[in-house]
Amino acid sequence: MKKTFVIALVLLLACTFVFAQGADEAASAAKAPAKGDKVEWWDHFLPLAQLHRAIWDQSEKETGIPVEYTQYDPAKQTEALMLAFRTKSLPDVFSQVFSGVGIEATLKSEGWFSPMAVNKSELPRIVQDSLFEGYTLFDGKVYSFPTYSINHNAPLWYLTKYVSENEVPRTFAEARALGRKITRESNKKTYGFVVPYAFIGRMDATIEDMMNALGSDGYINWTTGEYNYASEEIFKVFEFFTGIWDDGSVLPASVNLVMRAARERWAAGDGAMLIDGSWNIGVVKSNFPTLYNNGSVGVTDPLREDDSKPYKVYKNPPTGVFYISSNSDNVDEATNALLKLMGDDYYIGLAEAQDQPPLDVSAVAKASVDPTYVEVCDMFGRTMAYKPSPVLRNVEVAKVSAEMKEIHPTPAEILQGYVSGSIKDWKSELIKYNNAMTKERERAIAKCQKEGINVSMNDWIFTNYKYGESYLTNLYAGSYRK
């Protein structure tokens, strides 16, 4: 008994010491940062962390205000932000990680944001021109600003070790043949493709990008307002993705891979071709340096049916990246930190990180980057355009999106279902999805109308839209169907 007692006493003393230590810390922490003393910053941009850290350190030297940074995995960030919002402990600055049409407008109406402490007119020209009411401006006040210019997810990246210059595929047929060849010749050591079938959000976006490349408006037909989930173009994209799977040219593990993992397998040589955005080369630089800047990697336009026709991939005008939270006590300091993310130096830094292209694309030419990055940014510049945005024309549309329930399975889920053997007839699933989405949108519109919100099916119709042209701001006026 005595021995136990002694041990217990020692343990107790140790614990008390530890506790006292902790209590001291707590006290000192409570005394520390008060208002205006630091800026809390959460984002999911691991590749930019170094660039930002350098900027913040510089700024701290000048103003004495440190930036406290927490790196998040976007999957965890959504939950963290929602819980932080509930308890009024959102960080001063956070990156907008939520998906959904018009999400910025929804968040604004729910009270998530504080406006920046700066007037629109005080910002650089290039930033001013990229601000839109309903995305980054609300009631004329600046809430956020884009740091990227539009880009898409469908460029085709390949390892030059397996794909020689004259073999680079431009059409579905060429790609499928090449995929079969690579798989066969390497005796399945290297497959033709790695496809992140499990990365649903991205695959849904990629499918739409490739539909654009085929000449479609995307998921919504802007002339009739109808959904395109059962259109010819989506069927062609599906025939490609299911075709390469049926050919056996896709790394079998792809069924379960998210983008991160798919890229890792591709870089390791398990597959020769990968469909990914411009950031692919940025990740290659930091994670697979042996492939960087030595011609090991090549990139080309999205695969399509007929590569002689010009195409445009459509995206909404860029929206804000970082927002200031409504419970922030340090709006001025946060604004100052954010203002550092404009200007040539920053854009060149962004270009060198080789993530999404910077807002000022000309910075790419001034930065030291891999040739593929120059190529892919150039591609975006040539082949991308703004699509019409229902939310920008009528901010109430965001309420309809918030009301619409998610329908499953989405196209990407259908695709994963097919390659995992759970679905045989993807076409009928797509048709089912199209019908369900149409019905759900009608229901949501009806419900919103009953609550007095000013929306209708006309909000999805743009009479002056034409495929091949960029839908610029001046086109919005007078675009309603009578």
Which residues ranging from 392 to 411 are in contact with another protein (CB under 8 A)? Answer: 401-402, 404-406, 408-409
Given the complex with another protein, which of 18 and 472 has the nearer CB atom? 18
273 is a contact residue toward another protein (CB under 8 A): no
Q: Pick from 260, 309, 366, 382: which binds another protein (CB under 8 A)?
A: 260
- Looking at the DSSP assignment, which residues form a beta bridge with residue 39? 67
User: Binder to another protein among 55, 67, 80, 392 (CB under 8 A)?
Assistant: 80
Secondary structure of 330-341 as H, E, C letters: CHHHHHHHHHCC
Could you tell me the smallest distance in angstroms from the CB atom of residue 255 to another protein? 3
Choice between 43 and 209, CB closer to another protein: 43
> Residue count at the site for another protein (CB under 8 A)?
91
- The end-to-end CA distance of the chain, in Å, is 92
Which residues are registered as beta bridge partners of 300? Answer: 156
* Residue 265 binding another protein, by CB under 8 A: yes
**Shortest spacing between CB 166 and another protein, in angstroms:** 27
Rounded Cα–Cα distance for residues 182 and 173 (Å):
14
Q: Judged by CB under 8 A, does residue 1 bind another protein?
A: yes
Residue from 123, 251, 272, 364 that binds another protein (CB under 8 A)? 251
3-state secondary structure of 326: coil
Q: Least separation, in Å, of the C-beta of 440 and another protein? A: 11
Strand ranges (DSSP E) for 428-473? none
Distance CA 284, CA 295 (A): 12
Strand duo 297-300 + 67-71: pairing: unpaired
Query: Measured from the CB atom, is 73 or 425 closer to another protein?
Result: 73
**160 binds another protein per the rule CB under 8 A:** no
Q: Is 261 in the site for another protein (CB under 8 A)?
A: yes
Amino acid at 120: K
Footprint of another protein on residues 288-327 (CB under 8 A)? 288-291
Q: Does 36 bind another protein (CB under 8 A)?
A: no
In order of 355, 378, 408, 442, the CA distances from 437 in angstroms are 33, 35, 10, 9
- Which of 193, 238, 279, 346 touches another protein by CB under 8 A? 279
Kindly state whether residue 242 participates in binding another protein, applying the rule CB under 8 A.
no
Stretch that binds another protein, among 287-295, 314-322, 366-374, 382-390 (CB under 8 A): 287-295
Cβ 100 to another protein shortest distance, Å: 4
Cβ-based nearer residue to another protein, 267 or 377: 267
Is position 50 an interface residue for another protein (rule: CB under 8 A)? no
Beta strand pairing call for 67-71 and 39-43: parallel
Q: Residue type at 145?
A: F
> Per-residue DSSP letters for 233-246?
HHHHHHHHHHHHHH
148, 264 in Cβ contact below 8 A? no
Alpha-carbon gap, residue 86 to 112, rounded angstroms: 10
CA 473 – CA 153 distance, rounded (Å) = 24
Kindly state the smallest distance separating residue 260's Cβ from another protein, in Å: 6
Contact between 243 and another protein by CB under 8 A: the answer reads no
CB contact set of 102 (below 8 Å; sequence gap of 6+):
134, 390, 391, 395, 397, 398, 401, 402
Q: Does 114 bind another protein (CB under 8 A)?
A: no
User: What part of residues 411-450 is at the interface with another protein (CB under 8 A)?
Assistant: 413, 416-417, 419-423
| Residue 89 sits in the site that holds another protein (CB under 8 A) | yes
Pairing, β 297-300 against β 113-114: unpaired
Site for another protein in 346-375 (CB under 8 A): 355
Q: Where are the alpha helices (DSSP H) in 310-425?
A: 331-339, 344-353, 363-366, 371-383, 390-393, 397-403, 411-419
Residues 181-240 that bind another protein (CB under 8 A): 188, 197-198, 200
Q: Quick one: which segment of 86-94, 125-133, 216-224, 373-381 binds another protein (CB under 8 A)?
A: 86-94
Tokens 């900027």 label which residue? Answer: 55
Stretch touching another protein by CB under 8 A, among 54-62, 137-145, 285-293, 459-467: 285-293
